[in-house]
Amino acid sequence: MEKLKALRKHLIDRVPGLKKNPDRLLTFVEQGTVEFHRGQNLSHEYSIPVRIVLTDYSGSLDLVMLPLLQWLTTFQPNLTPTEAVRLDAEILSNTAMDLSLQVTLTERVVAIVDCVAGKIQVDHRKPEFDIITCPATHWQIFIRDEEAEDDYTLIAEWGEESAP
């Protein structure tokens, strides 16, 4: 579940308000599976259906979705485009909702067994798929002002500052 830990950290660092109150980000794994081929090799792969819940969320959906999609592009690019993320929400008031997102993560675990020494070495593989050729390390999200068509407002930013 190293991928889930990494995804949680990514969202907490990027979604406004979560860094100050990370307990508003809940994650659940329901009915995950383990693919395992019998034998001396104990390597396996987790298929982890993850439900991410943001409680009492009042920001733009884009502030959650864009960092999530950015992470998935790098660490889970094999998701089908039409079902990569499923979305549910419970509207609590005119300004707040409980937002639920579902995505399935896979995590490969290489377990090398040394029967002579009685030792098992475990390595959780979380490969990065460098399919984004954009070199930026500092990101900003701008949203169009509904009343002024050409005006955009900065609503979030994260990452390293660019060198001058």
Pick from 35, 96, 36, 29: nearest CA to 61: 96
pLDDT, tens digit, for every residue of 58-85? 988 999 999 999 899 888 887 877 778 9
User: 120 lies in a domain?
Assistant: yes
* 72 or 116: which leads in pLDDT: 72
User: 141 lies in a domain?
Assistant: no
- For the chain, the average pLDDT equals 83
The residue range of the domain holding 77 is 2-130
What pLDDT sits at residue 148? Answer: 66
Contacts of 83 (CB under 8 A, 6+ apart): none
Q: How far is CA 96 from CA 56, 58, 59, in A?
A: 5, 4, 8
User: 135 lies in a domain?
Assistant: no
Q: Which two tokens stand for residue 92?
A: 């609590």
The DSSP letter of residue 160 is: P
User: 161 lies in a domain?
Assistant: no
Longest dimension (CA), the chain: 72
User: 154 lies in a domain?
Assistant: no
User: 159 lies in a domain?
Assistant: no
User: 144 lies in a domain?
Assistant: no
Q: What's the whole-model pTM score? A: 0.75
Q: Where are the alpha helices (DSSP H) in 21-81?
A: 62-75
Q: Where are the alpha helices (DSSP H) in the chain?
A: 2-14, 62-75
pLDDT, tens digit, for every residue of 5-59? 999 999 999 998 898 999 999 999 989 999 887 777 788 888 999 999 999 999 8
Q: Where are the alpha helices (DSSP H) in 19-148?
A: 62-75
What pLDDT sits at residue 132? Answer: 55
